[in-house]
């Protein structure tokens, strides 16, 4: 028996009729057409499918869509504004933190989650924040640099410097 589920995805209301076993990653990719969210492992180990669910970082491969009923879901597609990449996305490109790009959407969401909680995270906090997101290409150092750079830029904007 299918179930009606209402979500707010990147600020837009959305409604789906899903099987109780359907995973959020599939709803996002196959029904909502938001293929920025990737599936790597499907068992909660790689972080490629990371999204924010009511502001908390989750692996969308581990969340049943019915369990997200009434929730806000933020995906990588919601980061850009008016067709322009946000500062974190630009920093990833500028710092060379993107190679094949498969981990990037999940990495960006983990980074946004961190930056939402800590205005000036330490390198250790950045490493910890992305420790659930696997990248087989970059060696992580440039990803950490990009996140640190964004934190610095946002702090400077806040203080007007
Ligand atoms: S696909 Fe969800 S954690 Fe790997
Ligand atoms: S850039 Fe290829 S997996 Fe991270």
pLDDT band, residue 159 (cuts 50/70/90): confident
Ligand 1 site, residue 28, Cβ cutoff 6 A: no
Tens digits of per-residue pLDDT, 98-139? 999 999 999 999 999 999 999 999 999 999 999 999 999 999
Ligand 2 site, residue 134, Cβ cutoff 6 A: no
Distance 55 CA to ligand 1 centre (A): 18
* Residues 6+ positions from 35 with CB-CB distance below 8 Å: 29
Locate all alpha helices (DSSP H) within the chain, ordered by sequence.
24-26, 87-94, 104-117, 123-129, 141-159
Q: Which 3 state secondary structure label does DSSP give 87?
A: helix
Ligand 1 atom closest to 45 (CA): 3
**Nearest Cα to Cα of residue 48 among 104, 96, 10, 91:** 104
The yes-or-no verdict on residue 51 having pLDDT over 90 is yes
Q: Which CATH number belongs to the domain containing residue 136 in this structure?
A: 1.10.150.120
Q: Which 3 state secondary structure label does DSSP give 9?
A: strand
Are residues 134 and 96 both part of a single domain? yes
pTM of the model: 0.97
Are residues 72 and 96 both part of a single domain? no
Ligand 1 site, residue 53, Cβ cutoff 6 A: no
* Residue 55 backbone zone (phi > 0: left; psi -120 to 50: alpha; other: beta): left
Are residues 29 and 73 both part of a single domain? yes
74 domain-assigned:
yes
Name the DSSP class of 1.
Answer: -
Distance 75 CA to ligand 1 centre (A): 14
Distance 31 CA to ligand 1 centre (A): 18
Q: Residue 18 is part of which domain span?
A: 3-78
Q: Which CATH number belongs to the domain containing residue 45 in this structure?
A: 3.10.20.30
The yes-or-no verdict on residue 161 having pLDDT over 70 is no
Tens digits of per-residue pLDDT, 2-23? 999 999 999 999 999 999 999 9
């Amino acid at each position: 028996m299918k179930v009606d589920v209402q979500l707010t995805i990147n600020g837009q209301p959305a409604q789906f009729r899903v099987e109780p076993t359907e995973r959020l990653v599939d709803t996002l990719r196959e029904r909502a057409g938001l293929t920025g969210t990737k599936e790597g492992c499907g068992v909660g180990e790689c972080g490629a499918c990371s999204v924010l669910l009511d502001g908390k970082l989750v692996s969308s491969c581990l969340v049943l869509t019915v369990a997200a009923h009434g929730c806000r879901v933020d995906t990588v597609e919601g980061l850009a504004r008016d067709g322009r990449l946000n500062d974190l996305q630009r920093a990833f490109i500028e710092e060379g933190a993107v190679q094949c790009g498969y981990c990037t959407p999940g990495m960006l969401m983990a980074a946004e989650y961190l930056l939402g909680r800590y205005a000036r995270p330490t390198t250790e906090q950045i490493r910890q924040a992305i420790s659930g997101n696997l990248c087989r290409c970059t060696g992580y150092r440039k990803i950490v640099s990009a996140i640190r750079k964004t934190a610095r830029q946002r702090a400077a904007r806040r203080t007007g410097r």
